[in-house]
Amino acid sequence: MVDLTAKKSNFISRSVQHAVTTLSNIEELRKMRREATVLGYGTILMDADFAGDNDHLTKANLVDAFRTIDAIIALLEAHSNAHYGNLYKLKR
């Protein structure tokens, strides 16, 4: 017989862990976005800069990813930051 109490508790813990990790990752991506803007990476990065572990990417791929990040952040900031608030409630 499955211990549903432990299973439910584990589900809650995993949900909180992933939500908090997501929030932390979004905050780090915001910092990286600001860094990219300050350093002018939008104009100085070239496809040739994508070498080694990044050789399968192009500047356009990174630009598109940052546009998506901007859209996610805009969603979270909508409605008087209610979405961010929902995530922050899970942090200790």
Tell me how far apart the alpha carbons of residues 82 and 36 are, in angstroms, rounded to a whole number. 27
Residue 71's alpha-carbon distances to 30, 52, 64, 77, in angstroms, are 12, 29, 11, 10
Tell me how far apart the alpha carbons of residues 74 and 14 are, in angstroms, rounded to a whole number. 26
- Element at 57 (helix H, strand E): none
pLDDT for 42 equals: 84
pLDDT tens figures, 25-81: 988 988 988 998 999 988 899 999 999 999 999 999 999 988 998 898 888 888 777
pLDDT score of 2 more than 80: no
pLDDT for 1 equals: 64
Residues in CB range of 26: below 8 A, 6 or more apart: 69, 72, 73, 76
